[in-house]
Amino acid sequence: MSALLNRRVAAGCCCRLWPTVSQSLVHIRTQSAAEPGTTKADEEHLWEAAAGYLPFSRARIGPFFQDQPVLKNPFLEDALLKGYLRRHLPEEAVFSDLSAFGERLAKEVDTWGRECEVNPPRLVHFDPWGRRVDHIVTSEAWKRMKDLSAREGLVAIGYEKLFGEWSRVYQMSKLYIYSPSSGLYSCPLAMTDGAAKVIQSIGLPPVCEEAFGRLTSRQPERFWTSGQWMTERQGGSDVGSGTETVAVPQTDGSYKLHGFKWFTSATDANMSLTLARAQDSRGATTPGSKGLSLFYAEVSRDEDGLLRGIEVQRLKEKLGTRQMPTAELLLDGLPAHRLSEEGRGVASIANMLTITRIHNSVSAVAGMRRVVLLARDYATRRTVFGKLLKDHPLHVQTLARMEVETRGAFLLVMELCRLLGREESGLASQLDAHLLRLLTPVVKLYTGKQAVAVISEGLESFGGQGYIEDTGLPGMLRDAQVLSIWEGTTNVLSLDVLRCVARSSGMVLHAYFTHVKSLLAGASSVSSLTPAVKAVGGALSELEEFVQVAASKGPNYLELASRDLAYSLARIYAGALLIDHACWKEASPHDTYAALRWCEQDLCLVVTKQKSGCYESSTAPLDSGLVYE
């Protein structure tokens, strides 16, 4: 007992610096339990006596705090991005722009992104005097993102084409480092880019020539964003039968739209492209996709400050993407102009979908990269079981697996951008065009799923802190969940893959097989890559066989196989790209390692599943029985 007191007093007198006190007290506390003759009351009394030195009393909450992960320049930190650009677009201007932008993202813009999350948009229906205003109030940070996007040319770069066929790669590289810091401003930019592409592809009709200039402007005061209003209550995937909005012709050749748009993101946009059914002179419309036309509408206010022809019903309460206003809109006589021929709405908006799906894929891989960057930084700061996380091989293995997923996804996305750039520069071969068509849904659906898995794993790598809202980490997972839903769900895109195979009479697959083989051929003499080349080559042969067999089966068989087919197409193609990148003369051993690791997985899932008979006609009722038991 006296020994106990002495030790405490000694600690108290000599060690006013409390970190030291903390150590001795913890030590004493452990010992005191064993002190013979010490009662509980004595203990409490003594603790109170020493309270001046308690490290965990009142305002003192202990000396130890976990270090938070630090976001460093996301361009300079990304070895694969830098390597990819050095290989394909070794332009000083691009490197210095991305490097400077990356610095700004880490030092300034990332905080704005957080602000967008903390101050989400809100809808003010009425002014203080009761007049309807439908004003969507957004944060200052959200507004700054608009200016920044214009100044940095985040849409413009794709249209200025300063780097020819590589301009899209440049633009998307910039968006890729921006997206996770953008407070979801990447979403309006995707639709803005998509709208510009549609307007350009239909030959810049005079009615929206000005809009095109604004969508692709670098001047903040001129810059416009666009929405894309397709989803209605009856259908988002199924717009063909789900669209109820009608377009009533006006005497001047324009239209007024009446309908209800169920999901409209970035509703603070300046304009939108939308689908509606044009009425004929008797007021009748044509059902199905054939009845849909594409319309251009500006979002404006009348002299009383009311939105022209639009009522904002409410903002959606969303799991994630809360930074961005997503609304339900009643279109009540919205002035609009038809852009497509009558009944060609779905075909005309296809260009928009190609662009937005590529943006979606960019955001997916950007989210993965960001969580990996933060997780690897955190692993250099957090000590557990006596050493830093980075020195625990199992933890690093987990990070390495995330890295492999991210690398495969990155190369898939950049491949899409490369193909898009070639198409837009008039350099695309037939093979390139087929690949772009096939890979757009494949990459979108695959990266959307990967993002959720990788980001979820990423959150776990921060332990409990990964679950804590104001670290900003959980928002990454919530935001990622939408990536597999909008711009086509996984199943809907899997069916789109089948559709494009059928419509091209298999030519898209032919292009796929040809290109993957050519990538593998380039690696045939690189012994370090042999296992990966073998794995991809074997999977490709299996896939070719599967396609032959499946072609003789009915449509139901293909439908059931479509999702696994799409996954197989993605995994094999990513494997080939990783191998190809590892063959580049300046590639690092890590590029080879990533290729080998990627190719260890089941690359041809569709054949594995086929062997279990799960696409046979007997399976559908079994699935149904299981689900509805």
Q: Which residues bind ligand FAD (CB under 6 A)?
A: 228-231, 235-238, 263-265, 318, 321, 326, 482, 485-486, 489, 491-492, 495
Nearer to ligand FAD, 355 or 402 (CB): 355
**Phi (first) and psi of residue 256, to 5 degrees:** -120, 135
User: How far apart are CB 356 and ligand FAD at their closest, in Å?
Assistant: 9
Identify which of residues 569 and 599 has a Cβ nearer to ligand FAD in the complex: 569
| C-beta of 230 vs 539, nearer to ligand FAD | 230
* Least distance between ligand FAD and beta carbon 485 (Å): 5
| DSSP three-state, residue 531 | helix
> Is the CB of residue 484 less than 8 Å from the CB of residue 490?
yes
* Helix intervals (H) in 161-233: 167-178, 186-201, 209-215
Q: How far is the CB of 329 from ligand FAD (least distance, A)?
A: 10
The nearer residue to ligand FAD, 55 or 235, going by C-beta atoms, is 235
Residues 6+ apart with CB under 8 A from 120: 139, 322, 323
Taking the alpha carbons at both ends of the chain, their separation in whole angstroms is 68
- Cβ-based nearer residue to ligand FAD, 197 or 597: 197
Do the beta carbons of residue 178 and residue 193 sit within 8 Å? no
Cα separation of 99 and 108, whole Å?
14
* CA count, 13 A, side-chain hemisphere, 554: 4
Structural contact between residues 297 and 274, judged by C-beta atoms closer than 8 angstroms: yes
Q: Which residue is nearest to ligand FAD (CB)?
A: 236
Residue 614: phi, psi to the nearest 5? -80, 5
**Minimum CB separation from ligand FAD for residue 235, in Å?**
5
Q: Which residue's CB is nearer to ligand FAD, number 102 or number 441?
A: 441
Nearest approach in angstroms of CB 238 to ligand FAD is 6
Phi and psi at residue 206, in whole multiples of 5°? -50, -35
Q: How far is the CB of 192 from ligand FAD (least distance, A)?
A: 12
Residue 516 has φ and ψ, to the nearest 5°, of -60, -40
Tell me the sheet residues that pair with 246: 258, 277
**Residue number with CB closer to ligand FAD (261 or 369):** 261
Q: Which is nearer to ligand FAD, 428 or 480 (CB)?
A: 480
Decide the pairing of beta strands 271-278 and 226-229: parallel
Collapsed DSSP state (helix, strand, coil) of residue 254: coil
CB closer to ligand FAD, 119 vs 237: 237
Residue 470 C-beta: closest distance to ligand FAD, Å: 22
Residue pointed to by tokens 């990996």: 372
Shortest Å distance, C-beta 241 to ligand FAD: 11
In the complex, what is the shortest distance from the CB of residue 443 to ligand FAD, in angstroms, rounded to a whole number?
17
For 554-616, what is the HEC assignment? CHHHHHHHHHHHHHHHHHHHHHHHHHHHHHCCCCCHHHHHHHHHHCCCCCCHHHHHHHCCCCC
Please report how close the Cβ of residue 400 comes to ligand FAD at its closest, in angstroms.
32
Nearer to ligand FAD (CB atom), residue 225 or residue 265: 265
Q: Judge contact between 272 and 299, C-beta under 8 A.
A: yes
Q: Tokens representing 529?
A: 């890559």
